[in-house]
């Protein structure tokens, strides 16, 4: 059996050697900009991976923390002049680190880190792969909001001290839909007017459990664009969180299930409204590269996978029925921009909405520091980056901040609260803005009020 060092050498050393240490990645790396040290930069982390693979430093002692503090935003890949596959290097290193931590648990230095890893593993293994459990969790949050327990919980010193990161995001979770009002998996939603194509909708985990209203609006927008929408019943979590935390085996199993579920729909496209999920779907071929048959099917799967913004631009224009008189800015989803290569379409759609004045945010392409569950595991580091992001958002004078990923949306909502902008600005998903302009659902600009009413 291969040692962990041999595994790291096989999976990452060759790619790490492609890095010429030029430094083009430094200006786009949010952790390097905020922490200011080489081990917090892409080239620094790559060098550590190379040294660990060569046996010159220890995996647990020298590699684990610098890699754990990486957001995985992949901005360095877009900036790299020699196309170093940083995402692949990070994935291989994280898998090796996770295996090391599991096999040497007694050597862990910090009990708190050990506890957080156990909780993370429990959630990734026993919650996210099970859609029914996630929907049950979403129903629990609906009941929590319905009973107005938020104010009581936030006032508790115990919760505020022990679960500070969770409390910061509990406050900004949008009003959750009633379980009775949710869309059904397995259902086909007919196109409005002439049918242009058939698409299979990827519901996601957080989006389906806590933001099903945005998913329902997504489906309605797609049908307005002339697309027939089917929600595959056998789909599951995309596996992004598992891959990012080093649980590669489980990520592969989730990928296999999704490929089978979506192939059965005979759809022309597979569509997602979450930048992180969509990026993972596009990378299934890499994830399953060691299985020839699955890799071939994954390549076909990735070719059909599109972000909702791409399809709305391709099959639009949307039938807007009312103007949205507001200054709007946009925060890129890292994985939508850096992995999927989608950045023009969201901006096109925002600027197509009647009444909108679009204001480009300075460094909108840099990560907001949500990073999947990074903002929960590394709260202080995440907030430092977020505070700088909100300074730039303020300069736009926008009353609506648009995002295209659930984690980014919650992060920017938390940023609005931290920056004291709650009465001046709201962070919303792109779909919410478009839905308002098309007369679907409630106002995007009143999102903050709906959330406050649900949690008071």
Question: What does the pLDDT read at residue 60?
Answer: 86
Report residue 109's pLDDT band, with 50, 70 and 90 as the boundaries.
Answer: very low
Question: What does the pLDDT look like over 184-242, one tens digit per residue?
Answer: 999 999 999 999 999 999 999 999 999 999 999 999 999 999 999 999 999 999 999 99
Q: What is the mean pLDDT of residues 366-390?
A: 93
Q: Whole-number mean pLDDT of the chain?
A: 91
Question: Is the pLDDT assigned to residue 379 strictly greater than 60?
Answer: yes
Question: What does the pLDDT read at residue 151?
Answer: 84
Question: What does the pLDDT look like over 38-91, one tens digit per residue?
Answer: 999 999 999 999 999 999 999 988 999 999 999 999 999 999 999 999 999 999
Q: What is the mean pLDDT of residues 107-124?
A: 62
| Cα separation, 51 vs 44, whole angstroms | 11
Question: What does the pLDDT look like over 130-158, one tens digit per residue?
Answer: 899 999 999 999 999 999 998 888 888 77
Phi (first) and psi of residue 229, to 5 degrees: -115, 130
Question: What does the pLDDT read at residue 336?
Answer: 97
Report residue 16's pLDDT band, with 50, 70 and 90 as the boundaries.
Answer: very high
Report whether 32 contacts 71 (CB < 8 A): no
Q: What is the mean pLDDT of residues 406-427?
A: 95
Question: What does the pLDDT read at residue 372?
Answer: 85
Report residue 445's pLDDT band, with 50, 70 and 90 as the boundaries.
Answer: very low
| Axis-axis angle for helices 42-53, 86-103 (nearest 10) | 50
Report residue 453's pLDDT band, with 50, 70 and 90 as the boundaries.
Answer: very low
Question: What does the pLDDT read at residue 164?
Answer: 78
Q: What is the mean pLDDT of residues 2-15?
A: 85
Q: How many CB atoms lie within 10 A of CB 152?
A: 10
Q: How many CB atoms lie within 10 A of CB 197?
A: 17
Question: Is the pLDDT assigned to residue 447 strictly greater than 50?
Answer: no
What is the chain's Cα-based Rg? 21
| Structural domains of the chain ordered from first start | 4-109 (1.10.1060), 319-455 (3.40.50.10700)
Report residue 455's pLDDT band, with 50, 70 and 90 as the boundaries.
Answer: very low
Report whether 308 contacts 222 (CB < 8 A): yes
């Amino acid at each position: 059996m291969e040692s962990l060092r041999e595994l790291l050498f096989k999976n990452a050393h060759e790619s790490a050697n492609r890095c010429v240490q030029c430094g083009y990645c430094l200006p786009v790396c949010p952790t390097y900009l905020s922490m200011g040290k080489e081990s917090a930069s892409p080239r620094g982390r790559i060098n550590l991976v190379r040294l660990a693979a060569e046996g010159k430093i220890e995996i647990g002692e020298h590699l684990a923390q610098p890699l754990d503090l990486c957001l995985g935003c992949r901005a360095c890949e877009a900036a790299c002049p020699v196309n170093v596959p940083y995402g692949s290097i990070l994935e291989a290193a994280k898998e090796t680190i996770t295996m090391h931590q599991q096999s040497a648990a007694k050597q862990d230095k910090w009990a708190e880190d050990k506890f957080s890893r156990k909780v993370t593993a429990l959630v990734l293994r026993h919650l996210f792969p099970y859609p029914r459990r996630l929907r049950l969790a979403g129903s629990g949050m609906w009941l929590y909001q319905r009973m107005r327990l938020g104010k009581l919980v936030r006032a508790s010193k115990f919760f505020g001290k022990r679960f500070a990161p969770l409390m910061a995001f509990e406050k900004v979770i949008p009003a959750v839909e009633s379980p009775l009002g949710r869309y059904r998996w397995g259902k086909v939603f007919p196109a409005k007017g002439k049918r242009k194509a058939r698409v299979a909708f990827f519901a996601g985990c957080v989006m389906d459990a806590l933001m099903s209203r945005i998913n329902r609006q997504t489906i309605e927008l797609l049908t307005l664009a002339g697309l027939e929408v089917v929600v595959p019943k056998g789909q599951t979590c995309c596996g992004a969180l598992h891959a990012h935390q080093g649980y590669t085996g489980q990520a592969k199993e989730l990928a296999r299930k999704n490929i089978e579920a979506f192939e059965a729909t005979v759809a022309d496209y597979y569509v997602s409204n979450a930048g992180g999920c969509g990026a993972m779907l596009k990378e299934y071929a890499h994830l399953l590269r060691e299985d020839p048959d699955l890799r071939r099917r994954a390549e076909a799967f990735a070719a059909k996978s599109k972000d909702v913004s791409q399809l709305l631009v391709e099959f639009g224009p949307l039938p807007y029925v009312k103007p949205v008189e507001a200054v709007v800015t946009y925060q890129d989803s890292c994985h939508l921009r850096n992995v999927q290569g989608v950045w023009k379409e969201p901006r096109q759609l925002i600027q197509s909405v009647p009444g909108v004045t679009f204001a480009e945010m300075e460094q909108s392409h840099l990560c907001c520091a949500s990073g999947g569950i990074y903002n929960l595991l590394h709260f202080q580091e995440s907030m430092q980056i977020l505070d700088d992001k909100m300074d730039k958002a303020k300069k736009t004078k926008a009353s609506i901040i648009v995002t295209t990923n659930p984690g980014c949306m919650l992060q920017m909502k938390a940023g609005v609260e931290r920056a004291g902008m709650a009465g001046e600005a709201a962070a919303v998903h792109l779909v919410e803005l478009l839905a308002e302009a098309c007369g679907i659902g409630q106002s995007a600009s009143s999102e903050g009020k709906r959330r406050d009413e649900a949690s008071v």
